[in-house]
Amino acid sequence: MAAILIIDSSKTTRETLRIVLGGEHAVSLASSWDTVAPGTAPELVIFGAPPGPRDDAATAAFRARLAPDAPLLLLNAADEIDPHALAPPGHRVEFMIQPFDPSMLRARVRALLRPPPRTVPSDATAAAHRRWLEPPLLTAAAAALARRATLSDLPVLLVGERGTRATDVACAIQFFAGGGPIIARAARELGTHALLAADVQHAAAAAVIVEDVHLLSADAQRALAAELRDASVSGTAARVFATTDVDLEVRVSEGRFAAELAFALGVLPIVLSPLRSRLADLPAIVETLLPPLVARARLEPVTLTADAITRLQHYLWFGNVAELEAVLARTLAVHRPRLVEADMLLFNPADSIRGIDAAARAHPAAAPASRASNESHAGLSSDSGASSHTTASSGASAASPPSGRARVLPLERRRADEALPESGRADTTGAATSPRLVPSTRTPADAALGSDERTSAAGPSLEVLLGELAHELRNPMVTIKTFAQHLDRVLEDPEMRTRFATLTGEAITRMDTLLETLLDFARFRAPQAQSVDLAALLARALDERTDELARKSARVEPTPAPHAPLVEADEAQLLFACRSIVDGLVQDLVAHTPVRIASRPDGGVELRVHTERAVAARLASWVAGAEHDADVAPPLSFALAAALVRRNRGRLDVRPDDGETVITITIAPGGGHG
């Protein structure tokens, strides 16, 4: 149990906090800093600063002596006290004003007791760098040396052909070594005087990549060797990475490269094998390269057929990984597929026009739409039928499931290759403009189950929804498959074993959660009508996500409605729908923004959230697209919610409104009786 010290002049506040937190933590109480019991060593301090005038300097001295490293949670508004007067810059200080919600308080305390995150730009950036230090992009031997290189500041020599992405490997090593910014310089650009110092000082870099180091002039070689021998002479201690596609020992024997420099650079030589010598690893390499390319192309997860993989393996790849990545990116950009067949692969830049012509012939009804914004594109649709013979998928590794009730389904990145309906091409003023998303008069519930329950001709087809489900299951399965292909290397490396256990456990949990969710959904039958408070159900669903909301610093702001009318519906079904909506949105909330709930005069409920603009656009495009295309696939979480709301004779609407995403649930009079 974590030790928590609570300091507040109010006995009521102290006892309330003891009751709320005492079940999980060892709580100590004090009315002021000078009454804290000797020997107290708290892991977290909760402090209610008294109103002024007060001696913040004395408080800071007590804090530094009693709890120098403990995070500080202030029970004051941010404008009531200066946190820098109590703790030095960088110390973890947060505010939580009274009255506070007990669940939110517990979540905030748990978050503060966790170790502070590493000072890296983002998890996505770390993942992007990590792949260049591990199989399959590196061989096992190269990966082992690369990981060792992250533990020191010694020079690194990267030996590989063009396109083996030596610069990416160098950047990844520097990233995980925590050495700061890195710059790249071509050997031909480097002079002989203060060879690296000027570059490093000018760019505020901590490391330099000397590309094609074998092309350095003789004078430049001697200058670089001197700087490596004694960094203090040049005024910089920058780490040096060097790349080359030749054997420096041969150059030394021929008298064309300085032996001293070759020895200095060769402390950690990492050989990047050409792709054509590793064709057995190509399926796994494609699985690693594909997800970020799919994300940048704004597509759903994409799968390559076995024939497509075979064709890739029968190519020599003189451009190595860089050429493979270009071929995959070109194929995605031109065809925008969900399934990549062998004849769709575009190996040469000149094939792009041929690919566009082929797509146009295959889908003559599809017409490209003009660009609406950076977040919304439309293009040629070239879907292929499903195939059971697939070997590579773009599904990313499963994210860690949140604590508490399991997450239903994430909001996946939606496709952008369907042209916007005409209703989405007019400005609110009616003037002709470039395409933009506008609210549809048809609801997502109508799209999911049809405009009439007796004749549900509209809505996503069973095939489309099953396709979405298959993608959801494929993502975690790819994680397990990728590690299984390298199981021998995984078992030899303790760090890899730990990561294997973590990621496979998360992947299995994700699949189990998905199946349990679908089983729960399948158990619902005809609605059993009763009086239901929709706003209360939505608030309950949000309360179950307290930990995730706390990590996003998102605050729930219910709008008071003392006489909110009740609706007649099945409470269990609508609670499931509310949970599905919240679970589909919580990961995409913009941090430090409010989540607002408001009851409507008709008994409906409105949820207003701030999401990334791309998420809002995807949801709105689903609403607009569902009016015209029965096979526009909604996010699965919203499809489940819409189905249950519709079953209770209700509507689920999604619309953008001045930077917010607005989700509305409305139940018709007499709902739940059908």
Ramachandran region, residue 255 (left: φ > 0; alpha: ψ -120 to 50; beta: rest): left
> Across 252-320, where does the E strand assignment appear?
268-272, 303-305
CATH code, 556: 3.30.565.10
Same domain, 216 and 252: yes
Is the pLDDT higher at 551 or at 406? Answer: 551
Determine the Cα–Cα distance for residues 640 and 519; give it in Å rounded to an integer.
12
Domain assignment present for 339: yes
Please check the confidence at residue 489 and state whether its pLDDT lies above 90: no
Q: Which two tokens stand for residue 520?
A: 């729960």
Same domain, 352 and 439: no
Chain segment 577-623, per-residue pLDDT in tens:
998 888 888 777 888 888 888 888 877 888 888 876 666 666 666 65
Q: Sorting pLDDT into bands at 50, 70 and 90, what band is 260?
A: very high
Q: Which residues pair with 340 in a beta bridge?
A: 304
Domain assignment present for 155: yes
Domain assignment present for 234: yes
Chain segment 38-75, per-residue pLDDT in tens:
888 889 999 888 887 888 888 888 888 877 888 889 88
According to the model, what pLDDT value does residue 432 have? 32
Mean pLDDT confidence for 243-266 = 93
Q: Is 411 helix (H, G, I), strand (E, B) or coil?
A: coil
Rounded mean pLDDT of the chain?
A: 75
Residue pair 185/160 in contact by the 8 Å Cβ criterion = no
According to the model, what pLDDT value does residue 429 have? 34
Of 377, 393, 409, the last residue of a domain is: 393
Chain segment 375-428, per-residue pLDDT in tens:
333 333 333 333 333 445 554 333 333 333 333 333 333 333 333 333 333 333
Please check the confidence at residue 210 and state whether its pLDDT lies above 70: yes
According to the model, what pLDDT value does residue 179 have? 67
Of 273, 307, 322, the last residue of a domain is: 273
According to the model, what pLDDT value does residue 188 have? 79
- The enclosing H or E element of 653 equals strand 650-657
Q: How far apart are the first and last CA of the chain?
A: 52
Domain assignment present for 508: yes
According to the model, what pLDDT value does residue 392 have? 57
Domain assignment present for 369: yes
According to the model, what pLDDT value does residue 622 have? 63
User: To the nearest whole percent, how much of the chain has pLDDT over 90?
Assistant: 23
Q: Which two tokens stand for residue 161?
A: 């052909």
Q: Half-sphere exposure of residue 650, counting CA atoms within 13 Å on the CB side?
A: 31
Distances (CA, A) of 62 to 7, 66, 91, 143: 12, 6, 15, 49
State how far Cα 93 lies from the chain centre: 26
Same domain, 326 and 419: no
Of 273, 293, 308, the last residue of a domain is: 273
Instruction: For residue 467, give its domain range.
Output: 397-674
CATH code, 14: 3.40.50.2300
Is the pLDDT higher at 126 or at 498? Answer: 126
Domain assignment present for 348: yes
Q: What is the DSSP string of 172-209?
A: HHHHHHT---EEEEEGGG--SSSTTHHHHHHHT-SEEE
Chain segment 135-192, per-residue pLDDT in tens:
999 999 999 999 999 988 889 999 999 999 999 999 999 988 876 788 888 887 776 5
Same domain, 267 and 283: no
Q: Is 70 helix (H, G, I), strand (E, B) or coil?
A: coil
Same domain, 266 and 325: no
Same domain, 191 and 150: yes
Please check the confidence at residue 126 and state whether its pLDDT lies above 60: yes
Q: What secondary structure, in 3-state letters, does 328-350 show?
A: HHHHHHHHCCCEECHHHCCCCCC
How many domains would you assign to the chain? Answer: 4
According to the model, what pLDDT value does residue 548 have? 82
128 class by beta-carbon count within 10 Å (0-12 exposed, 13-18 middle, 19+ buried):
middle
Chain segment 277-318, per-residue pLDDT in tens:
999 999 999 999 999 999 899 888 898 998 899 999 999 999
CA torsion angle 573 579 584 588 (round to 10): 160
Lowest-confidence range among 9-13, 222-226, 558-562, 589-593? 558-562
Is the pLDDT higher at 523 or at 567? Answer: 567
Same domain, 380 and 351: yes
Ramachandran region, residue 658 (left: φ > 0; alpha: ψ -120 to 50; beta: rest): left
According to the model, what pLDDT value does residue 169 have? 96
Q: What secondary structure, in 3-state letters, does 508-576 show?
A: HHHHHHHHHHHHHHHCCCCCCCEEECHHHHHHHHHHCCHHHHHHCCCEEEECCCCCCCCEEECHHHHHH
Q: Which residues pair with 432 in a beta bridge?
A: 426
b/e string for 558-589 if b means 16 or more Cβ within 10 A? eeeeeebeebbbbbbbbbbbbbbbbbbbbbbb
Ramachandran region, residue 286 (left: φ > 0; alpha: ψ -120 to 50; beta: rest): alpha
Is the pLDDT higher at 181 or at 6? Answer: 6
According to the model, what pLDDT value does residue 463 have? 47
Domain assignment present for 118: no
Residue pair 407/356 in contact by the 8 Å Cβ criterion = no
Mean pLDDT confidence for 18-31 = 91
Same domain, 559 and 453: yes
Same domain, 255 and 311: no
Same domain, 479 and 557: yes
Phi, psi of 117 (to 5 degrees): -65, 150
Mean pLDDT confidence for 237-247 = 89
CA torsion angle 233 150 242 293 (round to 10): -140
According to the model, what pLDDT value does residue 186 have? 87
Q: Which of 199, 191, 149 is nearest to 170 (CA)?
A: 149
Domain assignment present for 22: yes
State how far Cα 98 lies from the chain centre: 33
Same domain, 96 and 170: no
Q: Which of 222-236, 373-387, 424-438, 480-494 is predicted most confidently?
A: 222-236
Mean pLDDT confidence for 187-215 = 67
Please check the confidence at residue 201 and state whether its pLDDT lies above 50: no
Determine the Cα–Cα distance for residues 296 and 410; give it in Å rounded to an integer.
18
- The enclosing H or E element of 262 equals helix 259-265
Determine the Cα–Cα distance for residues 14 and 27; give it in Å rounded to an integer.
10
pTM assigned to the model: 0.43
Please check the confidence at residue 628 and state whether its pLDDT lies above 60: no
Distances (CA, A) of 329 to 277, 286, 346, 581, 636: 22, 11, 9, 33, 27
Q: Which two tokens stand for residue 438?
A: 């506008």
According to the model, what pLDDT value does residue 346 have? 92
CATH code, 244: 3.40.50.300
Residue pair 23/91 in contact by the 8 Å Cβ criterion = no
Same domain, 381 and 412: no
Q: Sorting pLDDT into bands at 50, 70 and 90, what band is 455?
A: very low
Q: Which of 72-86, 320-334, 378-392, 459-473 is predicted most confidently?
A: 320-334
Please check the confidence at residue 194 and state whether its pLDDT lies above 90: no
Lowest-confidence range among 32-36, 105-109, 126-130, 233-237? 233-237
Lowest-confidence range among 10-14, 85-89, 419-423, 511-515? 419-423
Mean pLDDT confidence for 335-358 = 83
CA torsion angle 655 661 667 672 (round to 10): 110
Q: What is the DSSP string of 416-428?
A: --SPPPGGGSB-T
Determine the Cα–Cα distance for residues 414 and 622; give it in Å rounded to an integer.
9
Phi, psi of 377 (to 5 degrees): -125, 155
Mean pLDDT confidence for 192-213 = 63
Provide the edge-to-edge strand list for the sheet that holds 303-305: 339-340, 303-305, 390-393
According to the model, what pLDDT value does residue 593 have? 86
